[in-house]
Structure 1
Amino acid sequence: MTSLEFREVAHGSPNYRETVRLRDRLLRAPLGLSFSASELDDEADDRHLAGFDTTTGKLVACLVLTPVEDGIVKMRQVAVEPRLQGLGWGRLLVEFSERFAVENRIREIVLHARETVVGFYLKLGYAIEGAPFVEVTIPHRRMRKRLVI
Protein backbone atom coordinates (compact mmCIF):
# COMPACT_ATOMS: atom_id res chain seq x y z
CA MET A 1 0.00 0.00 0.00
CA THR A 2 1.39 3.35 -1.02
CA SER A 3 1.45 6.16 1.51
CA LEU A 4 2.50 9.78 1.46
CA GLU A 5 5.01 11.78 3.42
CA PHE A 6 4.38 15.53 3.50
CA ARG A 7 7.03 18.19 4.03
CA GLU A 8 8.09 21.69 3.12
CA VAL A 9 10.54 22.03 0.24
CA ALA A 10 12.94 24.93 -0.16
CA HIS A 11 12.51 27.40 -3.01
CA GLY A 12 15.11 26.68 -5.69
CA SER A 13 15.89 23.15 -4.43
CA PRO A 14 15.66 20.04 -6.63
CA ASN A 15 12.35 19.15 -4.91
CA TYR A 16 11.04 22.67 -5.61
CA ARG A 17 11.89 22.21 -9.29
CA GLU A 18 9.88 18.97 -9.20
CA THR A 19 6.88 20.89 -7.83
CA VAL A 20 7.23 23.41 -10.64
CA ARG A 21 7.22 20.61 -13.22
CA LEU A 22 4.12 19.01 -11.65
CA ARG A 23 2.26 22.34 -11.42
CA ASP A 24 3.27 23.26 -14.96
CA ARG A 25 2.14 19.91 -16.38
CA LEU A 26 -1.19 19.76 -14.54
CA LEU A 27 -2.24 23.38 -14.10
CA ARG A 28 -0.49 25.57 -16.67
CA ALA A 29 0.19 23.56 -19.84
CA PRO A 30 -3.49 22.57 -20.32
CA LEU A 31 -4.26 26.31 -20.53
CA GLY A 32 -1.40 27.02 -22.92
CA LEU A 33 0.56 28.75 -20.15
CA SER A 34 4.00 28.23 -18.66
CA PHE A 35 5.95 29.75 -15.80
CA SER A 36 8.25 32.68 -16.46
CA ALA A 37 11.54 33.06 -14.61
CA SER A 38 10.17 36.15 -12.83
CA GLU A 39 7.05 34.26 -11.65
CA LEU A 40 9.27 31.60 -10.11
CA ASP A 41 11.55 34.24 -8.57
CA ASP A 42 8.44 35.81 -7.01
CA GLU A 43 7.83 32.52 -5.15
CA ALA A 44 10.98 32.90 -3.02
CA ASP A 45 9.01 34.05 0.05
CA ASP A 46 6.24 31.47 -0.38
CA ARG A 47 6.02 28.20 1.53
CA HIS A 48 6.13 25.16 -0.76
CA LEU A 49 4.55 21.98 0.59
CA ALA A 50 4.80 18.62 -1.12
CA GLY A 51 3.66 15.02 -0.79
CA PHE A 52 6.04 12.22 -1.66
CA ASP A 53 5.16 8.59 -2.37
CA THR A 54 6.95 6.70 0.42
CA THR A 55 7.45 3.65 -1.81
CA THR A 56 9.13 5.41 -4.73
CA GLY A 57 10.22 8.69 -3.15
CA LYS A 58 8.62 10.55 -6.05
CA LEU A 59 6.80 13.84 -5.61
CA VAL A 60 3.10 13.28 -6.32
CA ALA A 61 1.33 16.31 -4.83
CA CYS A 62 2.10 19.91 -3.95
CA LEU A 63 0.72 23.32 -3.12
CA VAL A 64 1.97 26.83 -2.41
CA LEU A 65 1.14 29.09 0.54
CA THR A 66 1.70 32.75 -0.31
CA PRO A 67 1.70 35.40 2.45
CA VAL A 68 -1.14 37.90 1.96
CA GLU A 69 -0.92 39.87 5.18
CA ASP A 70 -0.02 39.16 8.79
CA GLY A 71 -1.59 35.83 9.75
CA ILE A 72 -3.19 35.18 6.34
CA VAL A 73 -1.91 33.09 3.44
CA LYS A 74 -3.30 32.29 0.02
CA MET A 75 -3.29 28.60 -0.89
CA ARG A 76 -2.62 28.19 -4.58
CA GLN A 77 -1.32 25.86 -7.25
CA VAL A 78 -2.70 22.72 -5.59
CA ALA A 79 -1.74 19.74 -7.74
CA VAL A 80 -2.05 15.96 -7.33
CA GLU A 81 -0.88 13.40 -9.88
CA PRO A 82 -3.98 12.43 -11.92
CA ARG A 83 -3.56 8.70 -11.23
CA LEU A 84 -3.80 9.45 -7.50
CA GLN A 85 -6.75 11.84 -7.58
CA GLY A 86 -9.88 10.62 -5.84
CA LEU A 87 -7.90 8.62 -3.25
CA GLY A 88 -8.03 11.27 -0.54
CA TRP A 89 -4.45 12.46 -0.97
CA GLY A 90 -5.48 15.98 -1.97
CA ARG A 91 -7.49 16.17 1.26
CA LEU A 92 -4.47 14.93 3.23
CA LEU A 93 -2.26 17.54 1.55
CA VAL A 94 -4.68 20.37 2.39
CA GLU A 95 -5.02 19.12 5.98
CA PHE A 96 -1.22 18.99 6.26
CA SER A 97 -1.03 22.56 4.95
CA GLU A 98 -3.56 23.68 7.56
CA ARG A 99 -1.54 22.10 10.41
CA PHE A 100 1.61 23.64 8.93
CA ALA A 101 -0.12 27.03 8.82
CA VAL A 102 -1.26 26.80 12.45
CA GLU A 103 2.27 25.82 13.54
CA ASN A 104 3.47 28.98 11.77
CA ARG A 105 0.87 31.21 13.48
CA ILE A 106 -1.34 31.56 10.40
CA ARG A 107 -4.96 32.14 11.37
CA GLU A 108 -6.62 32.14 7.95
CA ILE A 109 -6.26 30.58 4.50
CA VAL A 110 -7.82 32.15 1.41
CA LEU A 111 -7.88 30.64 -2.07
CA HIS A 112 -9.28 30.99 -5.56
CA ALA A 113 -10.84 27.61 -6.38
CA ARG A 114 -11.66 26.51 -9.88
CA GLU A 115 -15.43 25.96 -10.06
CA THR A 116 -14.81 22.25 -10.69
CA VAL A 117 -13.23 21.79 -7.23
CA VAL A 118 -15.37 24.08 -5.06
CA GLY A 119 -17.13 21.03 -3.57
CA PHE A 120 -13.78 19.58 -2.49
CA TYR A 121 -12.97 22.70 -0.48
CA LEU A 122 -16.50 23.00 0.94
CA LYS A 123 -16.11 19.50 2.42
CA LEU A 124 -12.89 20.68 4.09
CA GLY A 125 -14.64 23.61 5.77
CA TYR A 126 -13.83 26.42 3.35
CA ALA A 127 -16.58 28.99 2.74
CA ILE A 128 -17.42 30.68 -0.57
CA GLU A 129 -17.06 34.46 -0.64
CA GLY A 130 -18.55 36.64 -3.34
CA ALA A 131 -19.59 35.97 -6.89
CA PRO A 132 -17.85 33.71 -9.41
CA PHE A 133 -15.06 35.32 -11.43
CA VAL A 134 -12.74 34.34 -14.27
CA GLU A 135 -9.03 33.83 -13.64
CA VAL A 136 -6.64 32.39 -16.23
CA THR A 137 -9.66 31.85 -18.53
CA ILE A 138 -11.44 29.56 -16.00
CA PRO A 139 -14.39 30.26 -13.64
CA HIS A 140 -13.26 30.48 -10.01
CA ARG A 141 -14.71 31.17 -6.56
CA ARG A 142 -13.05 32.97 -3.67
CA MET A 143 -12.96 30.79 -0.57
CA ARG A 144 -11.74 31.24 2.99
CA LYS A 145 -11.16 29.20 6.13
CA ARG A 146 -10.35 30.48 9.59
CA LEU A 147 -7.96 28.22 11.46
CA VAL A 148 -7.86 27.54 15.18
CA ILE A 149 -4.45 28.59 16.48
Structure 2
Amino acid sequence: MFTEKLVARIIACPGPDYDQEIKLRNEILRRPLGMDLLNEDLSREVNDIHIGLFRGQELIGTLILTPGQGYTKMRQVAVAETARGINAGTQMVKFSEEVAREKGFSRIELNARQEAVNFYLKNGYTVVGDQFTEVGIPHFKMIKEL
Protein backbone atom coordinates (compact mmCIF):
# COMPACT_ATOMS: atom_id res chain seq x y z
CA MET A 1 0.00 0.00 0.00
CA PHE A 2 1.32 3.41 -0.96
CA THR A 3 1.22 5.97 1.82
CA GLU A 4 2.75 8.86 -0.09
CA LYS A 5 0.25 11.67 -0.64
CA LEU A 6 -1.17 12.21 -4.13
CA VAL A 7 -0.97 15.78 -5.39
CA ALA A 8 -2.93 17.14 -8.35
CA ARG A 9 -1.59 20.20 -10.14
CA ILE A 10 -1.48 21.96 -13.48
CA ILE A 11 1.30 20.78 -15.80
CA ALA A 12 3.31 23.30 -17.83
CA CYS A 13 3.21 22.59 -21.57
CA PRO A 14 5.91 22.25 -22.77
CA GLY A 15 8.08 21.03 -19.92
CA PRO A 16 9.46 17.91 -18.23
CA ASP A 17 6.11 17.01 -16.61
CA TYR A 18 4.46 17.33 -20.04
CA ASP A 19 7.03 14.86 -21.38
CA GLN A 20 5.95 12.41 -18.64
CA GLU A 21 2.32 13.11 -19.56
CA ILE A 22 2.91 12.20 -23.22
CA LYS A 23 4.54 8.91 -22.18
CA LEU A 24 1.66 7.99 -19.84
CA ARG A 25 -1.05 8.90 -22.37
CA ASN A 26 0.71 6.92 -25.07
CA GLU A 27 1.12 3.86 -22.82
CA ILE A 28 -2.47 3.84 -21.49
CA LEU A 29 -4.55 5.33 -24.32
CA ARG A 30 -2.79 4.76 -27.64
CA ARG A 31 -0.51 1.71 -27.60
CA PRO A 32 -3.35 -0.69 -26.63
CA LEU A 33 -5.15 0.48 -29.80
CA GLY A 34 -2.07 -0.04 -31.98
CA MET A 35 -1.55 3.72 -32.23
CA ASP A 36 1.30 6.04 -31.27
CA LEU A 37 0.64 9.47 -29.77
CA LEU A 38 4.01 10.65 -31.04
CA ASN A 39 2.67 10.36 -34.60
CA GLU A 40 -0.15 12.81 -33.81
CA ASP A 41 -0.05 16.60 -34.14
CA LEU A 42 0.09 17.86 -30.55
CA SER A 43 0.93 21.48 -31.38
CA ARG A 44 -2.49 22.81 -30.31
CA GLU A 45 -2.12 21.32 -26.84
CA VAL A 46 -0.22 24.44 -25.76
CA ASN A 47 -3.67 26.12 -25.52
CA ASP A 48 -5.08 23.40 -23.24
CA ILE A 49 -5.03 23.04 -19.46
CA HIS A 50 -2.96 19.97 -18.57
CA ILE A 51 -3.58 18.38 -15.20
CA GLY A 52 -1.39 15.80 -13.56
CA LEU A 53 -1.69 13.66 -10.46
CA PHE A 54 1.65 12.96 -8.83
CA ARG A 55 2.93 10.51 -6.25
CA GLY A 56 6.16 12.22 -5.28
CA GLN A 57 7.81 13.09 -8.60
CA GLU A 58 6.03 10.26 -10.48
CA LEU A 59 3.13 11.22 -12.73
CA ILE A 60 0.42 8.60 -12.13
CA GLY A 61 -2.54 10.29 -13.80
CA THR A 62 -3.28 12.97 -16.33
CA LEU A 63 -6.10 14.66 -18.19
CA ILE A 64 -6.54 17.64 -20.48
CA LEU A 65 -9.15 20.39 -20.42
CA THR A 66 -9.71 21.98 -23.84
CA PRO A 67 -11.58 25.31 -23.56
CA GLY A 68 -14.80 25.83 -25.53
CA GLN A 69 -17.51 28.52 -25.46
CA GLY A 70 -18.75 28.44 -21.85
CA TYR A 71 -17.67 24.84 -21.39
CA THR A 72 -14.47 22.85 -21.37
CA LYS A 73 -13.90 19.42 -22.86
CA MET A 74 -12.14 16.84 -20.70
CA ARG A 75 -10.04 14.49 -22.78
CA GLN A 76 -7.07 12.14 -22.74
CA VAL A 77 -7.78 10.90 -19.20
CA ALA A 78 -5.18 8.32 -18.23
CA VAL A 79 -4.29 6.64 -14.93
CA ALA A 80 -1.21 4.43 -14.61
CA GLU A 81 -1.90 0.73 -14.07
CA THR A 82 0.01 0.97 -10.75
CA ALA A 83 -2.41 3.66 -9.52
CA ARG A 84 -5.73 1.93 -10.19
CA GLY A 85 -8.08 1.36 -7.25
CA ILE A 86 -6.71 4.17 -5.04
CA ASN A 87 -9.18 6.88 -6.20
CA ALA A 88 -6.50 8.54 -8.31
CA GLY A 89 -8.94 9.14 -11.17
CA THR A 90 -11.59 10.63 -8.91
CA GLN A 91 -9.07 12.92 -7.19
CA MET A 92 -7.81 14.14 -10.56
CA VAL A 93 -11.33 14.71 -11.97
CA LYS A 94 -12.41 16.65 -8.85
CA PHE A 95 -9.31 18.86 -9.13
CA SER A 96 -10.02 19.48 -12.83
CA GLU A 97 -13.58 20.53 -11.96
CA GLU A 98 -12.21 23.08 -9.47
CA VAL A 99 -9.82 24.41 -12.10
CA ALA A 100 -12.62 24.62 -14.68
CA ARG A 101 -14.82 26.58 -12.24
CA GLU A 102 -11.95 28.96 -11.43
CA LYS A 103 -11.44 29.55 -15.17
CA GLY A 104 -15.13 30.48 -15.52
CA PHE A 105 -16.47 27.34 -17.20
CA SER A 106 -20.00 26.23 -16.29
CA ARG A 107 -19.93 22.74 -17.82
CA ILE A 108 -17.52 19.91 -18.60
CA GLU A 109 -18.14 17.69 -21.61
CA LEU A 110 -16.27 14.50 -22.44
CA ASN A 111 -16.34 11.46 -24.67
CA ALA A 112 -16.07 8.45 -22.35
CA ARG A 113 -14.88 5.08 -23.48
CA GLN A 114 -17.62 2.53 -22.84
CA GLU A 115 -15.66 0.90 -19.99
CA ALA A 116 -15.26 4.30 -18.25
CA VAL A 117 -18.94 5.34 -18.28
CA ASN A 118 -19.67 3.99 -14.76
CA PHE A 119 -16.66 5.88 -13.36
CA TYR A 120 -18.02 9.16 -14.72
CA LEU A 121 -21.59 8.37 -13.60
CA LYS A 122 -20.25 7.91 -10.03
CA ASN A 123 -18.60 11.32 -10.35
CA GLY A 124 -21.83 13.10 -11.31
CA TYR A 125 -21.64 13.05 -15.11
CA THR A 126 -24.65 12.28 -17.30
CA VAL A 127 -24.77 10.40 -20.60
CA VAL A 128 -26.22 12.44 -23.46
CA GLY A 129 -27.00 10.84 -26.80
CA ASP A 130 -26.24 7.46 -28.25
CA GLN A 131 -23.08 5.40 -28.40
CA PHE A 132 -20.62 6.37 -31.14
CA THR A 133 -17.21 5.21 -32.32
CA GLU A 134 -14.03 7.22 -31.73
CA VAL A 135 -10.48 5.91 -32.30
CA GLY A 136 -12.13 2.65 -33.31
CA ILE A 137 -13.87 1.94 -29.98
CA PRO A 138 -17.32 2.68 -28.43
CA HIS A 139 -17.77 6.00 -26.62
CA PHE A 140 -20.57 8.02 -25.03
CA LYS A 141 -20.80 11.79 -24.74
CA MET A 142 -21.17 12.84 -21.11
CA ILE A 143 -21.62 16.20 -19.39
CA LYS A 144 -21.57 17.71 -15.93
CA GLU A 145 -22.88 21.13 -15.01
CA LEU A 146 -20.55 22.92 -12.65
TM-score by length of 2: 0.94
Cα gap change, 1:100 to 1:142, in 2 (>3 Å): same
Equivalent residue number for residue 125 of structure 2:
126
Q: Does 1:82 align with 2:84?
A: no
Equivalent residue number for residue 72 of structure 1:
71
* Residues matched between the structures, number: 144
Equivalent residue number for residue 61 of structure 1:
61
Equivalent residue number for residue 101 of structure 1:
100
Equivalent residue number for residue 110 of structure 1:
109
Equivalent residue number for residue 52 of structure 1:
54
Rounded to whole Å, the distance in 1 between the matches of 2:50 and 2:67 is 12
Pairing 1:1-12 to 2, within 5 Å after superposition: 1-12=3-14
Cα gap change, 1:91 to 1:11, in 2 (>3 Å): same
Cα gap change, 1:98 to 1:16, in 2 (>3 Å): same
Equivalent position to 1:27, from 26, 29, 34: 29
Residues 28-64 of structure 1, C-alpha deviations (whole Å, 9 max, x = no match): 011111124662112110000001103xx11111000
Task: Give the gaps of 5 or more residues in structure 1.
Answer: none
- SS of aligned partner of 2:37: coil
Residues 39-96 of structure 1, C-alpha deviations (whole Å, 9 max, x = no match): 2112110000001103xx1111100001122x21110011111121111110000000
Equivalent residue number for residue 14 of structure 1:
16
Task: Give the gaps of 5 or more residues in structure 2.
Answer: none
Rounded to whole Å, the distance in 1 between the matches of 2:17 and 2:36 is 18
Taking every aligned residue pair, what percent have the same amino acid on both sides? 41
Equivalent residue number for residue 41 of structure 1:
43
